[in-house]
């Protein structure tokens, strides 16, 4: 026969459960915050106010730095219009070229005496769009790499506009390879080549300026006072556009010295040329040929 009376054993179980539950609540509210040093909401608000008053507000995370090609280079030599790479050899192997006194004197003035220099201090970045010379530059890169010297070759030209491609003309005279066809070239339909081109000012900002420089060079003590960025330019009339762009963009401020060849009749082909105002306001710059 079933009894309507409740089981006396179930009441203690309920009581025990309620006691355990109350103990957990009391522990979470009063014991754990003090034990773990967890601040109350009011304490958190007070700390935030104090930080703001004292200028200790949290800073936004620093964006991750993109590595640069010139990181780790004590000196940088940019050979714009490298042709077959002779100026790199004048720099790294000067004793083989006793008659190259103009280039050697320039390098001594900015990189120090030849006898004190160490070629491990240099990073060379050579730009040459002529496809005929690619194999030679790859051979130089391989030979120099085996000696621990850093030679970077770009089968590309340099310009004053955005990175992209340009038409180069094989005009068959002392210029050899240029972006500006002469009348005779147009009439005779000179061979054309589509080549990559970098805006030189952008490239300097992106890959050289702000590079990580070693605290000390390999060269002899006192051979030069500090790291250098030096450029040689021979870009077959393009210098009349690229150099003004280096100036107006501010990239020239990151280059210590430039040597090169100016083609004096080029302005008849190129000018007037307009460049953006360097401050981003006011009138643009226009260069005329008079």
pLDDT, residue 83, reads 92
Write phi, then psi, for 77 (nearest 5 degrees): -120, 120
Eight-state DSSP code of residue 163: S
* Pairwise CA distance, residues 231 & 255, whole Å: 7
Positions in the chain whose pLDDT score sits under 70: 1-60, 171-177, 179-188, 222, 265-290
CA atoms in the 13 A half-sphere facing the CB of 233: 20
Eight-state DSSP code of residue 223: S
Write phi, then psi, for 40 (nearest 5 degrees): -75, 170
pLDDT, residue 161, reads 86
Sheet containing 156-159: order of strands: 156-159, 192-199, 164-170, 177-178
Which residue matches tokens 């590309």?
156
Q: Which of 153, 179, 135, 132 is nearest to 79 (CA)?
A: 153
Residue 77 β-bridge partners: 124, 230
* Pairwise CA distance, residues 34 & 167, whole Å: 75
Write phi, then psi, for 135 (nearest 5 degrees): -60, -40
Give the strand pairing for 122-127 and 75-80. parallel
Write phi, then psi, for 289 (nearest 5 degrees): -105, 115
Q: Would you state the structure tokens that stand for residue 172, as one six-digit string?
A: 């068959």
Q: Which of 78, 74, 67 is nearest to 255 (CA)?
A: 78
pLDDT, residue 169, reads 76
Q: Would you state the structure tokens that stand for residue 276, as one six-digit string?
A: 């953006």
pLDDT, residue 164, reads 86
Q: Would you state the structure tokens that stand for residue 131, as one six-digit string?
A: 């496809």
* Pairwise CA distance, residues 104 & 224, whole Å: 15
* Pairwise CA distance, residues 115 & 227, whole Å: 17
pLDDT, residue 61, reads 75
The 10s digit of each residue's pLDDT in 221-230 is 767 778 999 9
pLDDT, residue 2, reads 44
* Pairwise CA distance, residues 189 & 111, whole Å: 44
DSSP characters over 228-270: -EEEEE--TTTHHHHHHHHHHHSGGGG-SEEEE---TTTHHHH
* Helix residue ranges per DSSP H, the chain: 10-26, 32-36, 41-53, 86-92, 101-111, 134-146, 183-188, 200-207, 239-249, 267-270
The 10s digit of each residue's pLDDT in 154-175 is 999 999 988 888 877 776 655 5
First-to-last alpha carbon distance for the chain, in angstroms, is 125
Q: pTM here?
A: 0.70
């Amino acid at each position: 026969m079933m009894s309507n009376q409740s089981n006396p054993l179930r009441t203690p179980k309920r009581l025990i459960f309620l006691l355990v539950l109350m103990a957990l609540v009391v522990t979470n509210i009063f014991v754990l915050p003090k034990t773990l040093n967890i601040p109350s909401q009011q304490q958190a608000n007070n700390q935030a106010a104090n930080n703001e008053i004292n200028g200790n507000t949290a800073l936004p995370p620093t964006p991750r730095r993109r590595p640069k090609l010139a990181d780790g280079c004590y000196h940088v030599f940019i050979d714009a219009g490298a042709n077959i790479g002779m100026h790199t050899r004048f720099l790294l192997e000067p004793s083989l070229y006793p008659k190259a006194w103009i280039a050697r004197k320039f390098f001594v003035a900015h990189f120090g005496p030849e006898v004190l220099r160490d070629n491990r201090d240099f990073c060379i970045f050579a730009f040459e769009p002529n496809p005929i010379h690619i194999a030679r530059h790859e051979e130089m890169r391989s030979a120099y790499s085996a000696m621990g010297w850093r030679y970077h070759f770009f089968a590309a030209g340099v310009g004053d506009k955005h990175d992209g491609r340009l038409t180069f003309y094989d005009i068959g005279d002392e210029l050899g390879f240029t972006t500006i066809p002469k009348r005779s070239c147009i009439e005779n339909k000179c061979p054309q080549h589509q080549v990559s081109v970098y805006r030189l000012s952008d490239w300097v900002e992106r890959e050289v300026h702000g590079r990580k420089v070693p605290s000390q060079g390999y060269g002899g003590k006192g051979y030069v006072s500090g790291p250098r960025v030096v450029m040689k330019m021979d870009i077959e009339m393009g210098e009349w556009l690229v150099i003004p762009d280096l100036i107006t963009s501010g990239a020239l401020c990151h280059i210590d010295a430039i040597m090169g060849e100016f083609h004096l009749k080029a302005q008849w082909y190129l000018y007037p040329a307009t460049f953006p105002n360097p401050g981003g306001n006011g009138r643009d710059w226009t260069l005329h040929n008079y």
